[in-house]
Chains A and B, each alone.
Chain A
Amino acid sequence: MNEIIEVKYALDTFYFLVCGALVLWMAAGFAMLEAGLVRAKNTTEILTKNVALFAIACTMYMVVGYHIMYSSAEGGFLPSLGFLIGAENTAEEAIASGGDIYYSARSDFFFQVVFVATAMSIVSGAVAERMKLWAFLAFAVVMTGVIYPVQGYWTWGGGFLSAAGFSDFAGSGIVHMAGASAALAGVLLLGARKGKYGKNGEINAIPGANLPLATLGTFILWLGWLGFNGGSELVLSNIDEANAVAQVFVNTNAAACGGVIAALILARLWFRKADLTMALNGALAGLVAITAGPLAPSVGAATLIGAVGGLLVVFSIVGLDKLKIDDPVGAISVHGVVGLWGLLAVPLTNDDATFSAQLLGAASIFAWVFIASFVVWLIIKAIMGIRVSEEEEYEGVDLAECGMEAYPEFTSSRK
């Protein structure tokens, strides 16, 4: 009997670790997607942002965030402050629990920490091409150390939203809508890129420099999402759970496909041609849409949920531009608008969820993250400013912030 407990512990721990590694790989996806959708002169800076935010997220969550999220009072609202990530389970404890303790504590931290980095990474695309790098990193410290963990506590950490029946399987709200809320706060204070919107209401296109990278990034995210949703089942080691995980994988993939098809068809009908960037955003929208509830729906329903996400994201991207909210990669649309749809779609196929609980959760998460982020952005803006100068923006943040070009073809002087 003990041996079975040990093997299941090892298997479920391994599952957490592998899924966590897949979610870590999503960081590469975001980096490539964003690098592909900004202009060449701003590529080095956004890559630097992506690498640095990942490191900051993991460190801040280790220092303070994990404790806030998972060691605060059950059913509560105010988190408790504490540090570091606690002790590991011993074999004796696990066996004595009869299998209730079925995974390594460290593996749980590892699986959670990569989600924080994902949420933070959503912000980097929306503020691209005109935000000061170090202002962004300063915000990342607070977002990953405090803002994200607090609403993570309210939900997955057992706080009041969890007690109210809020259901968000892998984080359409907790990760994606939260990231988008922080992004929206930043973008409103930052302003649009110079030349994006004309004096008479024109919306000017600023095409991305490298669509192969953007596509690669999307597929990397698609792959990583299997870990994102699959791992959120949290258990693998019995027949029911193994079946559940398989269902989650299948539904996650199906939703992405539905998103691509819907976005591509809509783009073709609306813009007369196949807009690759809309198809890519459509895939991600499908993935975000299913993330709140990838287990309960049938495969067909999952495809449709993803398809609705794909339609919503196209409308939202154009709509935000009409509102003069400049989002170079569509992050607010993909993760915010569709994140909300993902939350509201859960009660459609899951009887344990209710629209009222979902709305309460969505409103709470949005209000907390948006307002807290807005305040932090304001403080950073007052202390150091959040936007580069007009000349720096014109010449490109690669030179202004990083001192190196991403594609230094013509002018390198070699000794």
Chain B
Amino acid sequence: MLNKNDHSGSERGQHMKLITAIIKPFKLDDVREALADNGVQGITVTEVKGFGRQKGHTELYRGAEYVVDFLPKVKIEVAVDDSSVESVLDAITQAANSGKIGDGKLFVTPLDDVIRIRTGERGADAV
């Protein structure tokens, strides 16, 4: 139940960011632990495929060549308060780093509001 008297978070002066991390799948556990250590309570994880500068390669299936372009990755989305952004970015970077090409990227985007569906809390209370 949204409280219509509550204005959006930015009007109340609360600033939040959405951090999107694309990482190698086997790094997921490490990143999750690092986020928990940093006080992040909720994350969303999606299986995705993609490539950056780490291009694909060719394989053979029954003698016919095919290109493996897209590599499996994991996408993590976390909503954080502005004050926590840098420490969370650090935590993810450290945990997801393997030093090899294809480690992934972090994206930081502004977040207008966050609402907890069960209680209607908004803003920092809902993060």
Residues of A in contact with B (beta carbons under 8 Å apart): 202-207, 270-273, 275, 277-278, 317-318, 321, 330
Contacts and interface: CB of A to CB of B under 8 A. Distances in A.
B63 A318 contact: yes
A321 to B, nearest CB: 6
Which 10 interchain pairs have the tightest Cβ spacing? Answer: A205-B61, A205-B66, A205-B64, A318-B63, A203-B64, A271-B60, A207-B61, A317-B62, A277-B62, A204-B64
A385 B66 CA distance: 32
Contacts of A278: 62
Contacts of A275: 60-62
Interface string B56-93: 00011111111000000000000000000000000000
B89 to A, nearest CB: 31
Contacts of B62: 205, 275, 277-278, 317-318, 321, 330
B63 A317 contact: yes
A273 B64 contact: no
Contact of B64 (A270, A272, A321, A330): A321
Interface of B: 59-66
9 contacts: A205-B61, A205-B64, A205-B65, A271-B63, A272-B60, A275-B62, A317-B62, A321-B62, A330-B62
Contacts of B63: 203, 270-271, 317-318, 321
A321 B59 CA distance: 17
A204 B66 CA distance: 6
Nearest to A207: B61
Contacts of A321: 62-64
Given A271-B63, A277-B61, A318-B62, 17 more contacts: A202-B65, A203-B63, A203-B64, A205-B59, A205-B61, A205-B62, A206-B61, A207-B61, A270-B63, A271-B60, A272-B60, A273-B60, A275-B60, A275-B61, A318-B63, A321-B62, A321-B63
Nearest to B61: A205
A317 B64 CA distance: 10
A193 to B, nearest CB: 12
Most buried by A among B60, B62, B64: B62
B20 to A, nearest CB: 21
A80 to B, nearest CB: 44
A278 B63 CA distance: 10
A278 B64 CA distance: 12
A203 B66 CA distance: 9
B69 to A, nearest CB: 13
A317 B60 CA distance: 13
Contacts of A272: 60
A63 B65 CA distance: 47
A84 B66 CA distance: 51
B54 to A, nearest CB: 21
A319 B61 CA distance: 14
Nearest to A317: B62
Nearest to A275: B62
B66 to A, nearest CB: 4
A330 B63 CA distance: 12
Nearest to B65: A205
A277 B59 CA distance: 14
Contacts of B61: 205-207, 275, 277
Nearest to B63: A318
A271 B64 CA distance: 9
